[in-house]
Amino acid sequence: MPTPIEELSQEQALAEAQCVAAGFCEADPISAQMCDVQGMFSLSIIVTLSDDTKFVVQLRDNDVDTTMVTLAYSLLGEVVPPLHAARTSVVRAAYVAPFVPGTVWDELNCSLDDDVKIASQIGELLGRCFLNVDSSGMVDRFIIPRLRKILAKERIPTKELRERIEGMILSAENLKALPLGICHIDVNASNIIIDNESNIAGLIDWEMAAFLPIGMGAWGIRNLATVNRNRTIYLLDKTQPMSEAFWKGFIKNLTPSAKSNLHAIIDGMEIGLLFFNGYCEGCETNEKVLAGLLESLDWIRSTFEPLCRNMNHS
């Protein structure tokens, strides 16, 4: 029987990571250390090999679909470290990816200029993830039914939020004007790696990405440009310039059809926030999250609608 990762001691985890690396990599492992930042569903260990290269070994209790990571890698290049399944006899599943040198953005105290530059780069990366595939089927067969299911089955704490979700059923039709894309569903400062020149070296955690109309993952700018304390959004000096830079970066490489339907991007951001922050499928809802959901939706609309109008008139 596989050992749950929570039952592994650090010594056992480090030893198994080296065994996994030995079976996957050409060079032999010589040392291993726990990553400073750990995900919720895996143990991540940096393994150094005899040729001085480094890999990250993930030990997990569940299998993941590496196809999404591979597709993101094909679209964005080295900023997405490719993830490969590897053999393990101790835990349920193990995966290996190249180590991305740099510092997790969450651990840095960046200047305003650097934060704005990074936000622009994140927007540009996410905006390049379109597939030139029509999204109408996804809207009709997944997005609208999911919205209806939330209305029918989930606890919605206020009349105002219920009305907002009802409105999304209508606005979801606008998403058909956008191409299908691969959407990172949880962009935050802990999965962005920054190099010594304050550029993005890595955007990780693509395992749970989804095929959705482009823009539905762009709600993550809320996590980057604002501070959320006790589910209340606090605006900072950097909030507006980061949001503007993100928006300009995001729309930079969109298809002409998508650029002519920028309002649909905002609709997608709202629905993405609802799906992946408020009512994540298969997860228990969090009352504190629900209490702040309408404020987050209002922030997206009030921040990006003026930018959308400015772009349409420029």
Predicted pLDDT at 37: 81
Is the overall model pTM greater than 0.95, yes or no? no
Give pLDDT tens digits for 73-128. Answer: 999 999 999 999 999 999 999 999 999 999 999 999 999 999 999 999 999 999 99
Sort 291 into a burial class: Cβ within 10 Å, 0-12 / 13-18 / 19+: middle
In this structure, the number of other CB atoms found within 10 A of the CB of residue 178 comes to: 27
pLDDT tens string 243-293: 999 999 999 999 999 999 999 999 999 999 999 999 999 888 999 899 999
Residue 158 has pLDDT above 60, yes or no: yes
What does the pLDDT look like over 282-295, one tens digit per residue? 888 999 899 999 99
Q: What is the pLDDT, as a whole number, of residue 309?
A: 78
Residue 59 burial (C-beta neighbours within 10 Å; 0-12, 13-18, 19+): buried
- Whole-angstrom CA distances from 72 to 195, 231, 239, 265 are 20, 31, 27, 20
Residue 276's alpha-carbon distances to 142, 201, 280, 305, in angstroms, are 14, 25, 5, 21
- What are the structural domains of the chain? 5-99 (3.30.200.20), 104-313 (3.90.1200)
Name the amino acid, one letter, at 195: D
Name the band, by pLDDT with cuts 50, 70 and 90, for residue 39: confident
Element at 181 (helix H, strand E): strand 179-183
pLDDT value at residue 179:
96
**In the predicted model, what is the mean pLDDT of the chain?**
94
DSSP 147-167: HHHHHHHS----HHHHHHHHH
